[in-house]
Amino acid sequence: MAEGKPSVAVCPGSYDPVTNGHLDIIGRASNVFDRVVVGVVEQPVRKQKTLFTAEERQGFLRDATTELANVEIEIFSNLLVEFARDQGAPVVVKGLRAISDFEYEFEMNQLNRKLAADVESMYIFASANYSFLSSTGVKEMATFGGDVSDLVPKPVAAALTERLAR
């Protein structure tokens, strides 16, 4: 980042579960910012119930990002812009996969700007090999016995198999 400019970003999400696509976005953000705080939403509004607890999701992310010295994993349950401010992050980084992501993120950006014009949103396009990948799709595959070992970190694949075995 330019000298004197803040170099902290927040990467929020439910991460239920964390996928290799999430890790790609987090890793790429860590190459741009001095400090990246991955914010694990304690109870996502768009989901009735998570498969994994916030602490489990935090643990999976910590294990998967140990190589990234400038990445921290925190759980939050307040407004995203408040969490970003609490972390000293003037930037929220999110990944975009498809047009449907853009439409949702555009709306969220406008609402966040209304709440906190000082917090910017930045978007990183998903790498081609992860553009189809979603936590929901991974859970569905695992529920029906599909092999998700190349879509999520190994501990997550094992936990999915254990939790979703039919």
Which residues of 14-166 form beta strands (DSSP E)? Answer: 35-41, 71-76, 91-96, 120-125
Prediction pTM value: 0.92
Give residue-wise pLDDT tens across range 30-70. Answer: 999 999 999 999 987 776 789 999 999 999 999 999 999 99
CATH architecture assignment, domain 8-128: 3-Layer(aba) Sandwich (3.40)
Q: Quickly tell me which residue has 């555009």 as its tokens.
A: 106
In contact, 29 and 36? CB cutoff 8 Å: yes
Question: Residue 41: CB partners within 8 Å, gap ≥ 6?
Answer: 12, 13, 14, 54, 76, 77
